[in-house]
Chain A
Amino acid sequence: MKKTIWILSLVWAAMGFLIAQAPNTQTPTTKAPVPQVKAGGKQSPAAIDRPKTVTEQTYAPAQIEAGKSLFSAQCGFCHGRDSAGGERGPDLTRSKLVAEDVRGDKLAPLIRAGSGEMPDFKLNDADMGAIVAFIHDQKTKFETLVGARRNVEPADLRTGNAMDGKRFFEGAGNCIACHSPTGNLAGIASKFQGLALMQRFLNPPRTQRPKVIVTPAGGKALAGTLTSQDEWTLVIQDASGTPQTFDKKVISFKIDNPHDAHFDLLSKYTDKDMHDIYAYLETLK
Chain B
Amino acid sequence: MKKLLSLSAALALAAGAFAQGVDPKLFLNPPKDSWLNYHGDYTGQRHSKLTGITQENVTSLKQLWRFQGTQQIKASPILADGIIYLTIPDVIWAIDARTGKELWSYRNPPNPAFHIGHRGAAVYKNTVYLTTPDCHLIALDGKTGKVKWNVAIVDSTRGFWSTNSPLIVRNHVMVGVAGDFDNVPGILKSFDADTGELQWTFYSTPPPGVSDPPSGGATGGQMWNTGTYDPELNLVYVGTGNPTPVLNGPARPGDNPWTCSIVAINPDTGKLAWGFQVSPHDTHDWDAAEVPVLVDAEVNGQPRKLVMQASRNGYFFVLDRTNGKNILTKPFAAVNWAKEIDALGRPIPDPAKEPSRDGVLVAPNEAGATNYRPPSFDQKTNLFIVSAQDGYGIYFFKPEHGAYGWAGADYNLAGKSSIRAIDWRTGKIVWDHPIGDGAGTAGVLTTASGLTFTGDNPGNVMALRTSDGTTLWRENIGRVGNAPITYELDGQQVLVVGAGNSLIAFAVPKN
Contacts and interface: CB of A to CB of B under 8 A. Distances in A.
A28 B138 contact: yes
Contact of A29 (B152, B405, B411): B152
B456 interface: yes
Contacts of A44: 114, 159, 181-182, 405
Interface string B452-484: 000010101000000000010010000000000
Interface in B112-148: 112-114, 133-134, 136, 138, 147-148
B109 interface: yes
Interface string B141-173: 000000111111011111111000000000000
21 contacts: A26-B149, A31-B134, A34-B109, A34-B110, A43-B181, A44-B181, A45-B112, A72-B209, A76-B209, A85-B155, A145-B405, A147-B182, A148-B181, A152-B396, A152-B409, A156-B359, A156-B398, A159-B358, A202-B394, A263-B414, A267-B336
B445 interface: no
A266 interface: yes
Given A34-B111, A35-B157, A82-B208, 10 more contacts: A21-B198, A23-B192, A25-B196, A28-B147, A34-B110, A44-B159, A81-B209, A202-B392, A230-B456, A267-B392
Given A32-B157, A146-B404, A43 B114 contact: yes
Given A149-B406, A195-B411, A45 B156 contact: yes
B77 to A, nearest CB: 25
Given A28-B138, A45-B113, A147-B406, A267 B334 contact: yes
Interface residues of B, number: 70
A272 to B, nearest CB: 10
Interface in A79-102: 80-82, 84-87, 91, 94
A23 B209 contact: no
Contacts of B460: 230
A82 B159 CA distance: 14
A190 interface: no
Given A203-B414, A266-B363, A46 B157 contact: yes
B408 interface: yes
Interface in B393-418: 394, 396, 398, 400-402, 404-411, 413-414, 416
A20 B136 CA distance: 13
Contacts of B406: 147-150
A180 interface: no
Contacts of B33: none
A283 interface: no
A72 B207 CA distance: 13
Contact of A85 (B111, B158, B334): B158
Nearest to B390: A267
B411 A24 contact: no
A37 B109 CA distance: 16
A28 B221 CA distance: 29
Contacts of A231: 434, 456, 471, 474
Nearest to A273: B361
Nearest to A199: B411
B361 A274 contact: yes
Contact of A94 (B148, B157, B198): B157
Interface in A120-164: 145-152, 156-159
Interface residues of A, number: 62
Q: Which of B113, B148, B411, B471 has the most C-beta atoms of chain A within 10 angstroms of its own C-beta? A: B411
A271 B362 CA distance: 9
Contact of B413 (A35, A84, A266): A266
A197 to B, nearest CB: 12
A236 interface: no
- By secondary structure, the A interface counts as loop
B296 interface: no
B203 to A, nearest CB: 13
B208 A269 contact: no
B458 A91 contact: no
Nearest to B248: A150
A275 interface: yes
Contacts of A35: 112, 157
A245 interface: no
B197 interface: yes
Contact of A157 (B111, B138, B150, B358): B358
A91 B414 contact: no
B102 interface: no
Contacts of A25: 149, 196
Given A156-B398, A228-B458, A85 B151 contact: no
B392 to A, nearest CB: 4
Interface string A195-230: 100110011000000000000000000000000101
Contacts of A47: 181
Given A25-B149, A203-B414, A266-B392, A31 B157 contact: no
A263 B114 CA distance: 33
B360 interface: yes
Contacts of B208: 80-82
Contacts of B160: 45
Contacts of B352: 271
B57 interface: no
B209 to A, nearest CB: 4
Q: Which of B109, B155, B360, B416 has the most C-beta atoms of chain A within 10 angstroms of its own C-beta? A: B155
A3 to B, nearest CB: 18
Contact of B359 (A46, A148, A152): A152
B224 to A, nearest CB: 14
A146 B402 CA distance: 9
